[in-house]
Each structure stands twice: as C-alpha cells, then as structure tokens.
Amino acid sequence: MPLPETDPGRQFRLELRGISKSYPAVRANDRIDLTVAPGEIHAVVGENGAGKSTLMKIIYGMVRPDAGDVLWNGRETQISSPAEAQRLGIGMVFQHFALFDTLTVAENIALALPEKLPLKAVAARIVEVASRYGLPVDPGRHIYTMSVGERQRVEIIRSLLQKPGLLIMDEPTSVLTPQAVDTLFVTLRELAADGCSILYISHKLDEIRALCERATILRGGKVTGVCDPRRESSNAMARMMIGADIQAISSARTVSAGSERLAIHNLSLPASDPFGTTLSDISLSIRGGEVLGIAGVSGNGQQELLAALSGETMFADPQVITIDGKPAANLDPRQRRAIGLSSVPEDRLGRGAIPSLPLSENALLTNGGPDSVRGGFIRLDKVKAFAERCIAEFGVRGGTADSPAGSLSGGNLQKFIVGREILQAPGVLVVAQPTWGVDIGAAIAIRQAILDLRAKGAAVLVISEELDELFEIADRIAVIASGRLSPSVPRGRFDRDAIGLAMSGQFAAASNRSEASRVHSV
C-alpha cells in the first residue's frame, strides 16, 4: 500500500529532478520533476510530442539528458545504458517495440530473461504466463509473421517475466483489445501490490482513471500538473493536456446513396507462412459515402486482408476485387492507387514510412502522381508543399517537411501518414488502426477527416481493434475472426456484446443475440 503523500520518511523508488533534453527542432523535456513510490502506478499523460517517450528513454538509459538528476531508491544514479537500467531492475515496454523479427517469440523472450533457461523451459513458461495474463501467444512463432497487436502482447509478456522493480509501459495497450486490457490491469494491480512501481503512458484516459493513482501531465516538454486521475473527469484531464476543451465529432449522418465503390467477391487466400491466417470466402461491398468498420482481435486475418486490398498480395483473377466496378485484384499497389484506392498500413515505422527519409520524401512515396513528378523529374517545391499541407492540416508537431520520419513522436508520425492519404482525396480509403497512439485531440481530428472524406462520396474501410472508434465513425460493422468475415450490422443495430461474441468466432451465437436484443428494444 502506498503511504500518504506527506510522510517525510518515505523513500521514492524513482525521483527525477530538473530533467531537460533538447533536440535540434524542439525542447523535448524541460526541467521535469517526477516521483514514483514503491508499488505506485503512476500515469504520464500528454498530447503527441509532449515528451513522454523521451522522458521514459532517459529513465531507461537510452537517451542521455542534457541536465538534471535521477535518484534511484534515494541515491543519485547515472543510468547510462539500458543494461544498467536492467541491473537496477527497470523494465520497459516500448512504444515501437524492441523485438527481433527473424527470431521466435521464445527466443525473443529468452534473450531478455536474466537467468539462462533452455528454450523449451522458456516456451513452457510463456504458455503458462500467457494464459494467466490473458495475452495468448504461440512461443514458436516468428515475430515477422505477427500483427502489431500480437507483437504488443509479446512485448508485455517479456517485460512481465523480467520481474522488474520499476516497469515503464509506453502505450502498452494501443493495439490491445478491451478484454486483454482488462486482464492486463488485474495483472498490473497484482504486480503493484507486490511492490513493483509502474510508469504508465496512455492516451486512453479511461484506462488511466481505472488503473492509476497519480498522473503527471506534460505539455510541450513541461510538467503542467500532477493530479489524482480517479478524482478528475476525463474532460478535466484532457483540458490539462491540450489546454483547451475537446470538441465532439460533428457528422451529418446522411443515409448513403452512392454506388458501389469497393467490392470483394469470395476472396480466399491460403496463408503464406505456417503461422499466417487463411482468408476464406470473404465478400464485402462498400458504397460511396459509407464507412465500413471491421472489428476483430488482431491476428485473425486483418493483415492478410489489408495486404490483399492494398495490392501487396495480388491475385490471378482480377474480378476478386473491384474498385469503382473496375477489376483490380491483379493490379499492384501503384496501379491500384492510380484508379483511386489509397491505403494506410498498420505499422507506421516500416510499411507506412521510411524512418531515415524526410517527411517530404515519405509523402512523395504514395503521392507520385503528375502533380509531384513530371517527365521523370521530381518537383521538389510541390512535394514539399504537399508535405507541409499534411503537417499543417493534421497538426503534426515537432517536425518540418525536412525532418526524418523517425525523429517524430509516434502519434505525430501516425497523423502524418493518415493525412498523406486523406489529402489525396482518394475514392476508396482502406485504413488500419487509424488512431494508433494518437492523442485524444488528434484522434478526433483524424476521425473527423475520415467522416469528411465520406461526406465527399468516398468509400472507407476501417480496420480497428477499438470498438469505440468503430461505433463512432462506422455506418456498418463486420467482424473478422479466424480469416472469416461476418455479415455486417448496420449502425442502428450495433451491439457491443454481440460484436464481442463474434470476435471470438461465434458468428451464429452473435447474430442470435443481436436478433434477441432487437426484439427487446422494440
């Protein structure tokens, strides 16, 4: 049990005094003070680019601060490398993961364990722990075959198995399902009761209010307040974070009357590797002015479906996918873009952007039309102007058109790659996890932009694990489970429990249920 705040004899597990860190473009941390007591679950919140990840990396020894002191259990300590942080008992879940693609889950986790167990024993422990924590993973799988949601589970399991004294979690639930989050919270509370301190970063204020007993709020690299999130409303906290009230989404919910813009006809696709998901007999159709949401636990075929739609996977039979009536399944991604389909992949630092290239060149990658390239020559001024428009209209902070994509904070990069596609005004937009790691203000802006695109007559397909998000913007929701797609449910009949059931693969039970609830509500 944490002691009362005023106890003079109390010793903090971690204390930061006046931590500052500047990057060429921004002052990421500006004289930050922070204390964490043993067994305390402490939230760090703030908008994208506020400096949260930078501060965590400083505690973990990945980034050296320009000024300030770190006190560990009351003693001044220089944490100069992650190895040193681990020796002190600090573990971390990274926002952009620190996994090895070509190694298996068991190997990834074995590498991080202090004791050297044989791989078989590690695998057995993963299986045992995974079911207890509600984070199912297969220890034999290679990371590169996994979706971001599954990778996040591996990161979390790895950090929990390290039994740290201070656990830093940088947006650990950004792509987890609500059920997994609930179980995770039970685990984290147990850990805290055993004396483990937790630094918890999230943009989901409900989570913070459910889990954390203290919150430090950052804005522009400075601490703007410390509060007890259980006693504040989400709105009050949001105001402290962004310095203004959050606006609700405005959407004129007109019934869509457009013609069919995107259709999939009986798409089946065997898994390309032994751990992939086989897509079986998927059909869907989206009209202009309509948003179809696809819900589901990550790893149930979303990646494969996205690859099939974007053109990463091509089909021999062109009729399987039609865009505005044109057969498109045999086209590559560039050809599909040319006839009006844009897509936003789920992993922003790999498929979505090239970290070492500046934003302007990253924008050129998907916007290589006649506007930006003429006669084989790049029109640098146009490309730059376009990148600047993405930055301005989607509120990307902490970077200019010349900043490398990798230097942006996670949420800001996400805004950029979503903005890049939406600003090209595509006829069909396919987007996965559109607001992954984006702060509340920006999430609203992105959802609004999707709805504005819809109002202009575009067909939008949103693949997301966040039900709330889908409920907010989708006109219809379908559920993907084990590579099969359920029939879609229109907006008036959205039912959280039915969709939850369908996500576990019980389509029949789910539709019975939603029938029943309809009878009730009549």
Partner 1 sequence: MGFDLLPILLSTLIAGTPLVYAGLGELITERAGVLNMGVEGTMVTGAVVAFAVALTTGNLWLGVLAAMAAGALLSLLFAVLAISFRANQLAVGLAMTIFGTGLGSYLGRPYVGMALVQDATQAGGGLAQLPVIGPLFSAVHPLIWLSWILFAAVWYFLARSRAGLALRAVGEAPTSAHAIGYPVVRIRYWATLFGGAMSGIAGAYMSTVYASLWTEGLIAGRGWIAVALVVFATWRPERCIAGAYLFGGATMAQLFAQSAGIGLPSELMSALPYLATIVVLVLISRDASLMRLSVPASLGKPFNPQG
**Contact residues: ligand ATP, CB under 6 A:** 23, 25-26, 28, 46, 48-54, 95, 398-399, 407-412, 437
> Could you tell me the smallest distance in angstroms from the CB atom of residue 68 to ligand ATP?
15
Which tokens belong to 353?
A: 């952007």
Q: Which of 11, 78, 100, 350 binds partner 1 (CB under 8 A)?
A: 100
> Could you tell me the smallest distance in angstroms from the CB atom of residue 218 to ligand ATP?
7
Judged by beta carbon distances under 5 to 8 A according to partner kind, the member of partner 1, ligand ATP, Mg ion, none in contact with residue 365 is none
Which residue lies nearer to partner 1 by CB, 350 or 487?
350
For residue 321, the cross-strand partners are 264
Q: Which of 273, 370, 375, 492 binds partner 1 (CB under 8 A)?
A: 273
Which residue lies nearer to partner 1 by CB, 77 or 183?
77
**How far is it, in rounded angstroms, from Cα 185 to Cα 477?**
28
Distance of CA 201 to the CA centre of its chain: 13
Q: Which of 79, 110, 223, 363 binds partner 1 (CB under 8 A)?
A: 110
Q: Which of 15, 26, 35, 53 binds Mg ion (CB under 5 A)?
A: 53
Which residue lies nearer to Mg ion by CB, 95 or 435?
95
C-alpha distances in Å from residue 366, one per residue of 312, 326, 361, 372, 441: 14, 21, 9, 11, 26
**Is 326 a binder of partner 1 (CB under 8 A)?**
no
- Vertex 438 angle, CA 444 and 234, to 5°: 65
The bridge status of strand 290-295 relative to strand 476-481 is parallel
Q: Is the sign of the CA dihedral 296, 301, 302, 308 positive or negative? A: negative
> Could you tell me the smallest distance in angstroms from the CB atom of residue 503 to ligand ATP?
27
Which phi and psi angles does 323 have, rounded to 5°? Answer: -115, 120
Stretch that binds partner 1, among 28-36, 92-100, 376-384, 464-472 (CB under 8 A): 92-100
Contacts of 154 (CB under 8 A, 6+ apart): 99, 105, 108, 109, 137, 143, 146
Summary count for the chain: helices (H), strands (E): 17, 23
Which residue lies nearer to ligand ATP by CB, 199 or 341?
199
Which residue lies nearer to Mg ion by CB, 318 or 355?
355
Judged by beta carbon distances under 5 to 8 A according to partner kind, the member of ligand ATP, partner 1, Mg ion, none in contact with residue 335 is none
How many residues are present in the chain? 522
Judged by beta carbon distances under 5 to 8 A according to partner kind, the member of Mg ion, partner 1, ligand ATP, none in contact with residue 50 is ligand ATP
Q: How many CB atoms lie within 10 A of CB 496?
A: 11
Judged by beta carbon distances under 5 to 8 A according to partner kind, the member of partner 1, Mg ion, ligand ATP, none in contact with residue 28 is ligand ATP
> Could you tell me the smallest distance in angstroms from the CB atom of residue 54 to Mg ion?
8
Q: Which of 35, 95, 197, 367 binds Mg ion (CB under 5 A)?
A: 95
Alpha helices in 6-147 (DSSP H): 52-59, 82-88, 105-112, 119-133
**How far is it, in rounded angstroms, from Cα 485 to Cα 488?**
8
Q: Which of 11, 235, 272, 319 binds partner 1 (CB under 8 A)?
A: 272
Q: Could you identify the residue written with the tokens 């798409």?
A: 267
Which tokens belong to 65?
A: 């601060």
C-alpha distances in Å from residue 86, one per residue of 108, 117, 159, 167, 192: 16, 18, 11, 10, 18
Which tokens belong to 180?
A: 């997994």
> Could you tell me the smallest distance in angstroms from the CB atom of residue 281 to Mg ion?
40
Which residue lies nearer to partner 1 by CB, 147 or 435?
147
**Is 78 a binder of partner 1 (CB under 8 A)?**
no
Q: In terms of Cα–Cα distance, which of 442, 462, 235 is closest to 346?
A: 462
> Could you tell me the smallest distance in angstroms from the CB atom of residue 105 to Mg ion?
24
Positions that interact with partner 1 (CB under 8 A): 57, 60, 62-64, 81-83, 85-86, 92, 94, 97-103, 107, 110-112, 116, 142, 144, 158, 272-273
Positions that interact with Mg ion (CB under 5 A): 53, 95, 409-410
